[in-house]
A and B are shown apart, each in its own frame.
Chain A
């Protein structure tokens, strides 16, 4: 296989990964890294470098569509980005030192968790009417449009959310993924932020978080132009298309299928990590 064929195949794979990633809300990164590492035999450090850049591209590319709807909350985003960016720096420094087998095993475990999360039904937990003291002081409470009119919401458990965001950032920097699933988990399960607000705010945060580890990856030589080029040119249109289809399609069956694929990739990553093949 020469470079031209290799590039075209990776482009096609990334297109599909981006499409499925945005359709299921898990992001393209969780598929790109195993795809490159397992199917194409790419060293996992090059794979996470390429994936990370595509994560920034997807986040930035879909932001303009999300902003118009008026769901995202800038204050929540910026405040929690303190935790995610510092976590991402930490994760990226770890990635530069950790053994590749260890990276593969951790990646596999995160995949198992993602496949579980993608099967879980999404619904808003009932929020309380009582504002939380810290969240009010940080002016995080907001409102968002619903079919029944403008709905007010109150944010809770800021310290717990902040802690979980640090973990999300570390995993993002360590594995080159957006870790949007954990960000959303922190915001809608712990902080009781309405689902629409958490997903769109998370999308903004993913790009900033990824940028915090991107600099480390770049200076350590993880980001290869020849490999990243087909990855971002595939993931970007794929994920924008996925977001477009998402509005119309019923994704229940697709989520189950995707969840099974991710679970299988997880087993494969863990096996290859444990046997020292990655």
Chain B
């Protein structure tokens, strides 16, 4: 890493987060792409049907179902897994910020980042509440 400043300084944290995000985007886009190739091979000749909203099947709506689909090599589940990785990345990044504020003993921002993290967890847990 090019930056030589103090560890856990705001600048250091921002740079680490930047690297993490870039890697995360590449990994999740690769999952989506791989799933997409299988999806098009299997369903490419079918007709698209998005005019009427029916919502996704239950297995594509939650962490557990998506993971099961990945293990059974379902193409739509694989794409959804890549999308899920993307959706969870900001949460991972806020967790990291939370930890950095703990290291800096910055009480105001420990609370601020905890609230943001709470909102993210609430969002993904919404279906179970």
Give the residues from 172 to 194 in chain A that come closer than 8 angstroms, CB to CB, to chain B. none
Give the residues from 16 to 36 in chain B that come closer than 8 angstroms, CB to CB, to chain A. 17-19, 21-22, 24-25, 28-29, 32-33, 35-36
A208 touches B90 (CB 8 A): yes
Residues of chain B with a CB closer than 8 A to A46's CB: 50, 53
Residues of chain B with a CB closer than 8 A to A56's CB: 86-87, 89-90
CA distance A53 to B86 in the complex (A): 7
B50 touches A61 (CB 8 A): no
A211 touches B53 (CB 8 A): no
In the complex, residue of chain A having the shortest beta-carbon distance to the beta carbon of B57: A221
In the complex, residue of chain A having the shortest beta-carbon distance to the beta carbon of B125: A215
B91 touches A211 (CB 8 A): yes
A225 touches B18 (CB 8 A): no
Q: A43-B53, A82-B116, A219-B127 are in contact. Are A211 and B79 (CB under 8 A)?
A: no
B108 within 8 A of A: yes
A61 touches B25 (CB 8 A): yes
A212 touches B123 (CB 8 A): yes
Which one of B36, B113, B120, B126 lies within 8 Å of A211 (CB-CB)? B120
What DSSP secondary structure best describes chain B's contact surface? helix
CA distance A138 to B94 in the complex (A): 18
Residues of chain B with a CB closer than 8 A to A146's CB: none
Q: A89-B119, A211-B91 are in contact. Are A229 and B18 (CB under 8 A)?
A: no
Residues of chain B with a CB closer than 8 A to A212's CB: 119-120, 123
Which one of A4, A59, A86 lies within 8 Å of B119 (CB-CB)? A86
CA distance A75 to B116 in the complex (A): 13
A225 touches B83 (CB 8 A): yes
B87 touches A228 (CB 8 A): no
In the complex, residue of chain B having the shortest beta-carbon distance to the beta carbon of A37: B50
- Total number of A-B contacts with CB less than 8 angstroms? 206
A215 touches B124 (CB 8 A): yes
Residues of chain A with a CB closer than 8 A to B91's CB: 211
The count of chain B contact residues (Cβ–Cβ below 8 Å) is 68
B87 touches A214 (CB 8 A): yes
Residues of chain B with a CB closer than 8 A to A221's CB: 54-57, 60-61
Q: A60-B86, A78-B112, A221-B61 are in contact. Are A42 and B50 (CB under 8 A)?
A: yes
Interface range on chain A (Cβ under 8 Å from partner):
35 or more
A275 within 8 A of B: no
B116 touches A78 (CB 8 A): yes
Which one of A4, A43, A45, A225 lies within 8 Å of B79 (CB-CB)? A225
Which one of A75, A211, A218, A232 lies within 8 Å of B89 (CB-CB)? A211
CA distance A41 to B122 in the complex (A): 32
In the complex, residue of chain A having the shortest beta-carbon distance to the beta carbon of B56: A221
CA distance A27 to B65 in the complex (A): 31
A74 within 8 A of B: yes
A124 within 8 A of B: no
CA distance A6 to B48 in the complex (A): 7
Residues of chain A with a CB closer than 8 A to B47's CB: 1-3
Which one of B10, B36, B125 lies within 8 Å of A233 (CB-CB)? B36
CA distance A45 to B109 in the complex (A): 35
List the 6 closest pairs (A to B, CB-CB), nearest first.
Answer: A221-B55, A219-B127, A215-B123, A215-B124, A67-B18, A225-B79
**Could you show 14 A-B contacts with beta carbons less than 8 Å apart?**
A1-B48, A2-B47, A41-B51, A64-B19, A67-B17, A67-B18, A78-B94, A78-B109, A89-B119, A138-B108, A212-B119, A218-B62, A228-B79, A236-B25
Starting from the known contacts A3-B45, A60-B86, A81-B116, 10 additional A-B residue pairs (CB-CB under 8 Å) come to A63-B22, A64-B22, A74-B14, A85-B120, A215-B122, A220-B127, A221-B56, A221-B61, A223-B56, A233-B36
